[in-house]
Amino acid sequence: MIETVLGSALRVKVILILWKYGELHTTELAHKLGTNYRLLLRHIEVLSRYGVIEERRIGRLRLVKLSNKAHVIELAKALTKMEEYLETTHRDASL
């Protein structure tokens, strides 16, 4: 199941962005990620289904944030640490 949740670079980026910025409007999140809104919604659905993120609506606004469950917070911290490590040690590496 972990590959379902983390098996997409965009879903990993969603977790990292929400950890950094907290609750965001989905349009703002799509902008920060540089992705299209419809594609983002499909990934939000997966993350929500598995309890990684929480959604709420205020009128037409759709807001998302990371779940405050301990395992989700630990996941976000671990991904952030790994991202920082890779950025500092592999700056010139390209895939």
Evaluate whether 81 touches 73 at the Cβ level (below 8 Å).
no
pTM: 0.89
**Token pair for residue 36?**
């299209």
Quick one: pLDDT at residue 94? Answer: 58
Percent of the chain with pLDDT over 90: 83
Compute the distance between CA of residue 95 and CA of residue 4 in angstroms, rounded to an integer: 23
Contact in structure between 23 and 61 (CB atoms under 8 Å): no
Residue 95 is predicted with a pLDDT of: 55
In three-state secondary structure terms, 26 is: helix
pLDDT band, very low/low/confident/very high, at 63 (cuts 50, 70, 90): very high
CA distance 71 to 51: 10
Alpha-carbon distances, residue 31 vs 3, 23, 28 (angstroms)? 25, 14, 5
- Average of per-residue pLDDT values in the chain: 92
For residue range 40-60, list pLDDT tens digits in order: 999 999 999 999 999 999 999
